[in-house]
Chains A and B, each alone.
Chain A
Amino acid sequence: MQTTVQRITPYRVLSYVMLFILAVIFTFPLYWIVTGSFKDAQAINAPAPVWFPTNPITTNYARLMERPAISWLLNTLFICGMAMLLICITATMAGYAIAKKRFACRALIFSIFVMAMALPKQVILIPLLKEISFLGLHNTLWAVIFPTVGWPFGVFLMKQFSENIPGSILEATRIDGAGEVQTFIQIVLPMVAPGIGALAIFTFISAWNDYFLQLLMLNTARTYTISVGIAKLQDEMFTDFGLIMAGAALAAIPIVVVFLMFQRFFTRGITMGAVKG
């Protein structure tokens, strides 16, 4: 058996070298954020870049805490956590129903969900803002949470996972006299648990970074998320890059840690969500 593919050819060496260079370029911004956040003004504005802060300072973080950066972080956590919880509940129920229940207009509803997913999200944001103001939710965290929950990706993902539940098991449970709710909690939930995990982590990360929605819905410093807070900070402080990098680090590090911890779930979420779009 020939294994031409794994042989070391000049092409392979070249592609690994290129991959390495690219990997450096792709990780560099994060490195530059973290190191930058510990640099003093002199190191920040040095004509030749200071590659590593030799005398690190924490003043940037101290100044950041004077803004209510911690409350920005708490707002973000609340939005992500609540959106995650609500999506996991609603999407799991709906995904199961679409996959396993034969109710009227099922196919039609599902295709509307899929079509809405292909629509550019931002196009609906102006009317959404008006609607949110009308409901009296503007400048509350719910203004970001509700539209996030409405987005149909979760339903689509959970439908994919629910397809794998064998109909015979559901039938057997029904014959045993279990009610619908009991079946859902005791049989369905454990079987789609990996899907819920993928959806949870996916929702958390995308809600954390949904800057545009947060920017529109939250206009008071009290309700800022970390992304909006940092964006306003750089509007105001301009070239105070030390402070801005501290903010960027505070926005990025928690979510990067979450991503690294749950990377497998996350990857499964995006691959499952793509099958036969």
Chain B
Amino acid sequence: MQYTLTQQARQRRRRENLVGYAFMLPSLLFFLGFVIFPMGMALVTSFTDYSMTTFGFVGLSNYIRAFKDAVFIKSLGNTLVIVLVSVPLVTLFSLWVASAVYKSSQFTSSLIRIIFYLPIVTGTVAVTVVWKWMFNNYYGLLNYVFKSLGIISSNINWLGNPATALWCIITILFTTSIGQPIVLYISALANVDPSLVEAGEVDGANHMQVFWKIKWPQIMPTTLYILVITTINSFQCFALIQLLTSGGPNNATNTIMYNIYYHAYKLNEYGYGNAMGILLALLIAIFSFFQFRLAKSDNE
């Protein structure tokens, strides 16, 4: 009796394995073939001088080269500026919008979600080309509006000036980043346990206290998720730069992602490009780690 039972169990388990993997197979094929394999290759080739003509092991020299490369350091700095400005801005701003509208009627909150999602749906390329026109030195709307309002006295070459170009990029990045966080915050705030909020209000907590002591801890997982995705997106800012400035003027808007593209596709230095890619991945991992730590300590 005992024997047959275990045999049955074993047979059952084998069946589960077989069926499970059969269902997993199509997805695993694509995942292993087009995500995991290139990921492994990126790591391996980052230790080589892989290019159009060469392919030899060079140890850490790509990594050493990166840290001696003034352009890489500049692009690293620009990338960090973009991340450190846009991540807090996007998070706080979307939280503000969401808390202003999440109690409104279905119609209003739908409308807000649609409006702030619009720049993302419109598509990076379409959004970028229209901004390029608006930023244009001669025909751009921005110079006209700012001059009419008396904010500036003569035309500014927004994208051609190292002092303003990066901020133009950050502005556009901002408009294409806050849609998803707003949607997430609206749903998170709507899911906050109302009995806790009521209990807090009965105990005489004011608006701010209710928010920071009761709602904030409950929406923490959402905040964390938003921080992580916004960080990843900001680190990977590429299309805007390729289409608007090509990293210029004088590398003022060069980012790691653009630098990788430039070395790999314009100069065919795949090994070096991959090494910078691995550095970027490490940087994102470090940022995410600290965001998790921060979120944890804030929750306790």
Contact = CB atoms under 8 A, between A and B. Distances in A.
Given A248-B125, A252-B122, A260-B114, A96 B17 contact: no
A85 to B, nearest CB: 12
A231 interface: yes
Interface stretch (B26-34, B57-65, B70-78, B161-169): B26-34
Contacts of B30: 86, 90, 146, 149-150
A36 B134 CA distance: 11
B121 A267 contact: no
A192 B50 CA distance: 46
A234 B225 contact: no
A277 B225 contact: yes
A30 interface: yes
Given A94-B28, A260-B114, A277-B225, A152 B121 contact: no
A211 B121 contact: no
Contacts of A44: 139
A91 B27 contact: yes
Nearest to A30: B122
Contact of A36 (B133, B264, B273): B133
State which size class the interface on B falls in. 35 or more
A78 interface: no
Interface string A75-89: 000000000001001
B38 A127 contact: yes
Interface of A: 2, 4-6, 12, 15-16, 19, 22-23, 25-27, 29-30, 32-33, 36, 44-49, 86, 89-91, 93-94, 96-98, 101-104, 106, 109, 112-113, 116, 118-128, 130-131, 146-147, 149-152, 155, 180, 184, 205, 208-209, 211-212, 215-216, 227-228, 230-231, 234, 239, 241, 244-245, 247-249, 251-252, 255-256, 259-260, 263, 267, 270-271, 274, 276-277
23 contacts: A5-B207, A22-B97, A26-B118, A29-B175, A47-B144, A93-B26, A103-B16, A118-B228, A118-B284, A120-B232, A123-B260, A126-B277, A127-B42, A127-B45, A128-B34, A131-B33, A146-B34, A205-B121, A209-B125, A216-B265, A231-B125, A239-B139, A274-B184
